[in-house]
Every structure is written in structure tokens, then in C-alpha cells.
Amino acid sequence: MENKSRRKFIQNSLTAAAAITIGAPLLKSQSLFASENMADGFQFTQVKLPYSYAALEPSIDSLTMEIHYSKHHTAYIKSVNDTIVAEKISFNNEKDFFANVSKLSAKARNNGGGAYNHNFFWESMAPGVNKAPKGKLNRSIEASFGSLDKFKEAFTSAATTRFGSGWAWLIAVDGKLKITSTPNQDNPLMDDVADKGTPLLALDVWEHAYYLKYQNKRGDYITNFWNVVNWNKVAERFSK
């Protein structure tokens, strides 16, 4: 029964993503994802995955990574770029896009968020990196939450209790750290979210991010996420 459910989930994931991406041109991969300037505005770009699909195993399995990156994320990139053209959205960069997202259509909002959030998520993880933050970041985590373990508990709670699909975030607000979560593909850069700030760390808790390996056990997925957090990247974001 479990194998049948797994096969059905894979088939549904591929079918849904393919429906959006069929006929799409090849995407330009960049190491940075601050939007690419275009004649009539900008287009979102998809970062090149910083590691192989299998690099984060056993925490995140290769098949999930492949479907998540090459199907779901690619679909968000194509859809938001098509929407930018169709709706004549003329902001100069992602920052301005999200700062005015409440004025945009639901399609622009959801797909723009999906494009940005996934780029951010891939770079929030890495294989074989430091298992704990150091320096300024570590001191700030201890000052804000008491200890790294207490921070993980609070972040895990935000990710676990996010009803339905969404994201858990560590953000910086005026130099101080805060944990928040957002529904769907919203993020802390958007002008109308409850908690705005500079994103430092993100965890995707949509089912497609974990269902193949963990099925309905979101908690196990969150626990294993800590094995692949790229603390060096988080520290870099915090230092800016």
C-alpha cells in the first residue's frame, strides 16, 4: 500500500510540473539569484543546484531533490516570468517585486515566491558542512534564544505547526534574530506578511519536499534537516 502511494505521489508530482513546463526554454543557471535585468524589467533566474541530487542523502533523498529542483522549482520560474510579461510587471529587481507584492496578482505572488524561496532553500543546505554556527551568528542565536538547542526547538515548532503548506524562517530584524513561518510561497520580504525581515535560513514544509522519503512524518524530515544546514551560508547572510 505504501509503495503504491509513493508511486502515485511521484506520478502526480511529475504530471503537475510537466503541465507547466512543457515547451519551456532552457533556463540560464546563475550562482546568484538577484534577478537578471531585462529590457522591460527583470526575470527571475534559477540557481544552479550547488551539489548533486544525491549529495544530501540520507537526510534528503536524491529522487525528491531531482523532482523538487527540476520540476517544481523550474515550473515556478517559468510561470512567474510568463506572468511578468503578460501582466507587464516592471519592477527592477526582486526586492522591489516583493516590496509591492500586495499590488500584484495571486499568480505573480505565488510563483514569484516559489522562484525566490527555492533558490534560497537550496543555498541554505550543503553536504559535509559545519554542524553548528560559529562566531557572531552563534552569539546572536544564544542571545536571542538561550542556546542552539533552544533555537532548534523553536524553529522546529514553527515548521511543525505551520498548517498545510508553507515555510519556516530565521530572519534578522534590526540586527536581532526572530523565527517566523509563512503560508504557501510567501516570504519575509513581502510587504504584507506578519513578520518582515531579512531571511537567513528557510525550510520548505510543503509535502512535495519530503513525502517520498518521509510520507506524513514531517517531524522526521525537520529533524534530519539539521544535518544539512549550511551554517556558513547563514552566517554570510547575517553579516551583510
State which of 73, 103, 123 marks the end of a domain: 123
State which of 123, 158, 176 marks the end of a domain: 123
Length of the chain: 240
Q: Which domain holds residue 186?
A: 135-239
> Structure pTM?
0.84
Q: What is the pLDDT along the chain (240 residues), one digit of tens a residue?
A: 444 445 454 455 544 444 433 333 323 333 233 344 443 569 999 999 999 999 999 999 999 999 999 999 999 999 999 999 999 999 999 999 999 999 999 999 999 999 999 999 999 999 987 789 999 999 999 999 999 999 999 999 999 999 999 999 999 999 999 999 999 999 999 999 999 999 999 999 999 999 999 999 999 999 999 999 999 999 999 998
Indicate whether 119 and 171 sit together in one domain: no
Q: Residue 183, Cβ neighbours under 10 Å: how many?
A: 12
Burial of 8 (0-12, 13-18, 19+ CB in 10 A): exposed
Instruction: Establish if 129 belongs to a structural domain.
Output: no
Indicate whether 6 and 116 sit together in one domain: yes
**How many domains, in total, are found in the chain?**
2
Decide if 42 contacts 35 (C-beta within 8 A). yes
Indicate whether 165 and 215 sit together in one domain: yes
Q: Would you give the DSSP letter of residue 125?
A: B
Instruction: Establish if 128 belongs to a structural domain.
Output: no
Question: CA dist 122 to 67, 143, 148, Å?
Answer: 13, 27, 22
CATH code where residue 62 lies: 1.10.287.990
